[in-house]
């Protein structure tokens, strides 16, 4: 009986652990895959058959001489193993007694920028590796810029291969000061630097005796203790509605994920775009009702009044509204093999909202290696630019730096259905600053001589157009 309870207690404790999502980035051969392999190996997270296969593969195709080649744990594609590089984003899951981790091992090459953006879009922390021999190089700068673009608040600069520079404190300090000089203007709030050797395991899981001058903690200790709870925006309540739940006459609930902020029973909320207000009657989940909900919980809200809310609309607090606009500026990462056609009308998906959009203008392209700005007529694969977009109907958004989930969007090609680009909203743009202005079409029903009995069917048709991302304003 005691054992059963112990197992239950263990499982309960395991469920309570929080989750840290991290991404590793660095230049080719900086040892990213080796470092993660080492983390898994030293924290005893490998099964025996994995270990046997690893030893066998290391002898056959490893690149680590007499050592076990830990990188083979992650570089699973045949092409990756043959070239000794990472191409795809490999996700690895492991946990320690204090925390669960999901690691995205992202490729270092410039042609795989989109893979890195994908891997980093959900990350709380980034480990950027540099080789102690070469120090901060172009790729280090590029990865740090991408990390700041994605709004990742915690960065670890892991100075790897310290064994090849005899664990020199002077060399480590040199790299750190050069990196800090570059990173300061990017505004990343939490940057930590750790000297390590992934191959030998120095400062990876345990503090190393070979770096007595290093006063900080080991990499795993840092990952276990870094404070990420404050990274969620808990002030601006945003609830994009995913689905309206109507199982019977007596229940009408709005399902969705709390994107940001906290909602409590009895709170006054407003539905956007209609502007109608009501109070939260209950917060329902599969496990019963809650008194309050916060991100990233998925819940069903019921309201005191019957108000019309459907998918793509948003519930917010009446005293804290998002920006509601059709024109905004954003940083755009182009992800399609096919170059951008500025005359094309794309679908834009932001939260649960779908609309049509077109690119009004490209302000400048950012060279990810030198941070220089240049004027370009269009974007090609992996290029990043600051653009102005205009949508067919109003979107409800916050700047990405303030609220990740309401400030991010994707552009979808209407013909191929490919994800053409991902974007991070900077702010709204005034109509007077737009290159071209196209107002929402207006149907003035009385002016057109349409009798009131037809209003309902016209509203129905307009609602269907809106669902397809085309907004039409009705005057009755």
User: d(Cα 233, Cα 235) in Å, to the nearest integer?
Assistant: 6
- Cα distances (angstroms) measured from residue 54 to each of 51, 59, 70: 5, 9, 8
> Which tokens go with 100?
């669960």
Residue 88, marked binder: no
Residue 28, marked binder: yes
* CB 75, CB 33: distance < 8 Å: yes
Residue 33, marked binder: yes
Residue 233, marked binder: no
What are the E-state strand segments in 232-352? Answer: 238-245, 253-257, 263-264, 268-272, 277-285, 288-290, 292-293, 298-303, 314-317, 323-334, 346-350
Residue 439, marked binder: no
Residue 30, marked binder: yes
Residue 160, marked binder: yes
Residue 367, marked binder: no
Residue 26, marked binder: yes
* CB 111, CB 28: distance < 8 Å: no
User: d(Cα 195, Cα 173) in Å, to the nearest integer?
Assistant: 10
User: d(Cα 301, Cα 89) in Å, to the nearest integer?
Assistant: 36
Q: Residue 409: phi, psi to the nearest 5?
A: -155, 165
Residue 29, marked binder: yes
Helix (H, G, I), strand (E, B) or coil at 224: helix
* CB 353, CB 471: distance < 8 Å: no
Residue 135, marked binder: no
Residue with tokens 């649960």: 352
Task: Find the helix or strand (DSSP H, E) in which 428 lies.
Answer: strand 419-428
Residue 335, marked binder: no
Peptide bond into 376 cis (omega under 30): no
Residue 27, marked binder: yes
Which residue ranges are tagged as binding site? 26-33, 105-109, 160-163
Which residue ranges are tagged as binding site for GTP? 26-33, 105-109, 160-163
């Amino acid at each position: 009986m005691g054992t059963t309870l112990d197992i239950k207690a263990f499982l309960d404790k395991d469920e309570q652990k929080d989750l840290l999502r991290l991404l590793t980035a660095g230049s080719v051969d900086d040892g990213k895959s080796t470092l993660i392999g080492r983390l898994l190996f030293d924290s005893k997270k490998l099964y025996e058959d994995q270990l046997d296969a690893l030893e066998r593969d290391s002898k056959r195709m490893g690149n680590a001489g007499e050592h076990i080649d830990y990188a083979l744990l992650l570089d699973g594609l045949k092409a990756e193993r043959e070239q000794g590089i990472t191409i795809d984003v490999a996700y690895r899951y492991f946990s320690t007694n204090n925390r669960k981790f999901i690691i995205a091992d992202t490729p270092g090459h410039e042609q795989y920028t989109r893979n890195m953006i994908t891997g980093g879009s959900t990350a709380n922390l980034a480990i950027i590796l540099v080789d102690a021999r070469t120090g901060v190089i172009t790729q280090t700068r590029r990865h740090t810029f991408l990390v700041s673009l994605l709004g990742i608040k915690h960065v670890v600069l892991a100075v790897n291969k310290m064994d090849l520079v005899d664990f020199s404190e002077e060399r480590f300090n040199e790299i750190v000061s050069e990196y800090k000089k570059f990173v300061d203007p990017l505004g990343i709030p939490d940057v930590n630097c750790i000297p390590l050797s992934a191959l030998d395991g120095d400062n990876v899981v345990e503090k190393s005796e070979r770096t007595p001058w290093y006063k900080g903690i080991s990499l795993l200790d840092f990952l276990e203790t870094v404070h990420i709870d404050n990274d969620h925006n808990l002030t601006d309540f945003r609830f994009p509605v995913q689905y309206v739940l109507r199982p019977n006459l007596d229940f009408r609930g709005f399902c969705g994920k709390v994107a940001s902020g906290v909602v409590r029973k009895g709170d006054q909320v407003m539905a956007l775009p209609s502007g109608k207000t009501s109070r939260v009657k209950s917060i329902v989940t599969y496990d019963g009702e809650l008194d309050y909900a916060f991100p990233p919980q998925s819940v069903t809200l019921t309201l005191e009044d019957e108000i019309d809310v459907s998918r793509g609309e948003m519930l917010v607090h009446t005293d804290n509204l998002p920006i509601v606009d059709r024109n905004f500026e954003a940083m755009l990462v182009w992800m399609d093999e096919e170059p951008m056609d500025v005359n094309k009308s794309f679908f834009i998906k932001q939260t649960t909202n779908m609309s049509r959009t077109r690119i009004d203008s490209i302000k400048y392209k950012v060279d990810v290696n030198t941070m220089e700005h240049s004027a370009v007529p269009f974007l090609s694969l992996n290029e990043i630019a600051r653009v102005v977009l205009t949508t067919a109907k109003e979107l409800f958004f916050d700047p990405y730096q303030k609220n990740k989930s309401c400030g991010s969007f994707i552009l979808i090609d209407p013909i191929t259905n490919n994800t053409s680009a991902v974007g991070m909203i900077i702010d709204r743009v005034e109509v007077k600053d737009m290159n071209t202005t196209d107002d929402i079409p207006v149907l003035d029903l009385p002016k057109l001589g349409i009798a009131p009995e037809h209003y309902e069917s016209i509203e129905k048709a307009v609602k269907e157009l809106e669902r397809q991302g085309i907004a039409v304003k009705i005057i009755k």
